[in-house]
Amino acid sequence: MKNLGIEIVGDLKGIDKVFLAKLNIEELKTEISALIKKHGFNELGDYYHSFEPGITGAVVLAESHIAFHTWPEFGYVSLNVFTCNYTKDNDENAKSLFDEIAHIFQPTEIDKQIVIRNH
Q: 46: exposed, middle or buried (C-beta count within 10 Å: 0-12, 13-18, 19+)?
A: middle
Catalytic, out of 33, 65, 84, 96? 84
Number of Cβ within 10 Å of residue 54's Cβ equals 18
Which runs of consecutive H residues, i.e. helices, occur in the chain?
17-21, 25-38, 91-104
Catalytic, out of 64, 65, 96, 119? 64
What whole-number distance in Å separates Cα of residue 115 and Cα of residue 118?
Answer: 9
Is 64 marked active-site?
Answer: yes
Is 49 marked active-site?
Answer: no
Element (H, E) at 114: strand 109-117
Q: Which residues are catalytic?
A: 64, 69, 84
